[in-house]
Amino acid sequence: MKLTKKSHACVRLEKDGRTLVIDPGGFSEEDAALGADAVLITHEHPDHFEEGRLRAALEAAPGAEVWTLRSVAERISAAFPGRVHTVGEGDTFTAAGFDVEVHGQLHAVIHPDLPRITNVGYLVDGSVFHPGDALTVPGRPVETLMLPVMAPWSKISEVIDYVREVKPQRTIDVHDALLTPLARPIYDTHLGNLSGAEHRRLTPGAYTEL
């Protein structure tokens, strides 16, 4: 499997000539979802779901499909009948040749005064887990954890403890557009020294083979 990091929360996974994209939002490249055979959206926040860009990708590839939670599906399903699938915790499906499990239900708490929205994470081929905006523990071994390193709802100690609980072989940063280059070495050092997993940081456009 080839994993390409896009800006912020978006990643592209490629296998056997097919492409799966997760969370091509407004903080990611405009063409992040173009060319995808399947797109997974974890939740409705605009840094994970940008409606115009997703519609453009679906119009450009008539065979492309989307799997997401209800709040997102309701906004795009009418325009693409039969191509937008609603999922929730415990569901399993195959998208673009990848086997996917759905884990989690709610977005992390930003502040007690703000209502929590739904959020799901996706475990792909039993090895790569993208939790969206939550610290969901999938309850089974994970080789690669896409790790949300910086958000209004998190702090570094919680991120480190999350990695310790999931116990992946490696982490790769996502949700990092809010992190300045000046602060990156601090996060890299703490995650590398304290999380118990190999820590990787990929610049947008860089890729790794898993």
What's residue 147's pLDDT?
Answer: 98
What's residue 114's pLDDT?
Answer: 96
Query: From the CB of residue 157, how many other CB atoms can be counted at a distance below 10 Å?
Result: 10
- CB 65 within 8 Å of CB 83: yes
CA distance 210 to 92: 22
Q: What is the CATH number of the domain that holds 73?
A: 3.60.15.10
Classify residue 183: in a domain, yes or no: yes
What's residue 154's pLDDT?
Answer: 94
Classify residue 144: in a domain, yes or no: yes
What's residue 30's pLDDT?
Answer: 95
Classify residue 210: in a domain, yes or no: no
Residues facing 20 on adjacent strands: 13, 38
pTM: predicted TM-score of the whole model, two decimal places:
0.97
What is the per-residue pLDDT across 162-201, written as a single tens digit (0 to 9) for each? 999 999 999 999 999 999 999 999 999 999 999 999 999 9
Ranges of H-type helices in 51-101:
51-60, 70-76
Query: What stretches in the chain show pLDDT beneath 50?
Result: none
